[in-house]
Structures are given as C-alpha cells and as structure tokens.
A = this chain, B = another copy of it.
Amino acid sequence: MAEKKRTETTEGRRERKRRQTRARIENAAMTLFLQRGFEATTIEDITEAADVSKRSFFDYFPSKEEVVFAWQDAFADRLMAAIAARPTDESSVTAVEAAITATVIAAVDEPGLALGDLIHRTPALKARDQLKYAKLEQKLAEALLLRKGDDPLERPRMRVLAAIVIGALRVGAELWQQRPPSASPQDFAREIFADLWKMLAEFGEEAKTRR
C-alpha cells in the first residue's frame, strides 16, 4: 500500500503514475511554500493544488518538512560515491576537496539550493536543515574512514576533518547566498577551500607557538 516492492519485473504504468503524482505534490508544495510561506501552507492546500486526497499526501511524504528535504539523501549518497571514487593513495584533504567541489558543482543547478531563504525564515525548517548537515558530516566521515581501510585510529581524525569541511560548506553556502550570480561556482569553491586550508595552517601554527 505504501511501500515500494520490487518484484523483479520491469515496471510499467503503476510506477510511472506514482512518480508523476509524487512530482505533482512536490511541485505544488514548493510553489505554495515559496509563495505564501511554509507554515501558512496547509497540507490541504497542497493536496488540493495537486489534486489528490489529503490522506494520500502521507503516502508519499512522511511529513510536511520532508517535502522540502527530500533531495538531501541523494546528495549525501553522491558525495559518498565521489569520495569512494578518489584514488586511495591521495591525501584525505585532497580527496575531500575534489569530491565536495565536484558534487556541489553538479548539484548547483538543481532545485533545493534556491530554498535558502525559505529555510532561513522558518524556524522548524532551520532545525531540520542543521540535521541535514549533521547527517552529511557523518556520512562524509564514514566514507573518508573507509578509504583509510577502516583503521580505528583514524576515526577521530576523520570525524574532525569531516566536521571542519562540512562547517566550511555551511559557511560557504551562506556566503554563496549573498553573492552576485556572476561568479562561477568553480572559482568560488576553489577560493573557499584555499582560504580554509590556509586558516587551518595558521590556527595550527598559532596553537603550536603558544605561551
């Protein structure tokens, strides 16, 4: 009824309709959210615009918030794949920079990045947004650790590296919002990372030569 079950056979009309309906709900919801705000939009508004029953909404999304963040899992998975694809002999910082840059640039035109305003203006979404970063960080750490042969000693190192990089991603996303759309994402990413590594070296140096 609600779960997708693959019975091996290549599927036809049923799945197609389901995807269409899902897309209709998603589009209707996004349009309304951006138009009149998240809280001011009721589930009924959405289902009416998408022409499905109110009950059916929950057959496609577990909650109102999930519509906004539906794309997130795919992004995290792509990032993990990008990390895994880097050569094993490469240093962690090089691998993570390359993987993040590639994944972000590939996703820069997708919907979901234009949502910054909406999320920022809605407390409930803000919390959910932070959780997204936390999950991303966890997956990134996992992927980085796997590259190192799952060495338990590397675990805290990779956790911290992931925290640093995702932190930079967060700050970077914020800076990106308030940039003219003229700058290319490539240059922007390169600059952000260059600054980041420079700061790391400086902070590390500062700590070393401390009284």
- Taking Cβ atoms with an 8 Å cutoff, the residues of A that contact B are 91-94, 97, 126-128, 130-131, 133-134, 137, 156-157, 159-161, 163-164, 166-168, 170-171, 175, 195-208, 210-211
Contact = CB atoms under 8 A, between A and B. Distances in A.
A27 to B, nearest CB: 25
A164 B203 CA distance: 10
A210 B91 contact: yes
Contact of A199 (B91, B157, B202, B206): B157
25 contacts: A91-B206, A93-B203, A94-B211, A126-B131, A126-B134, A127-B127, A127-B130, A127-B131, A130-B130, A130-B133, A130-B134, A156-B171, A156-B175, A159-B171, A163-B167, A163-B168, A163-B170, A164-B164, A164-B200, A166-B167, A197-B207, A200-B200, A201-B208, A203-B204, A204-B204
Q: Binding site of A, secondary structure by majority: helix, strand, loop or mixed?
A: helix
A161 B171 CA distance: 11
Contact of A171 (B130, B163, B171): B163
A197 B201 contact: no
Given A127-B127, A160-B171, A163-B167, A204 B210 contact: no
A79 B3 CA distance: 47
A175 B198 CA distance: 28
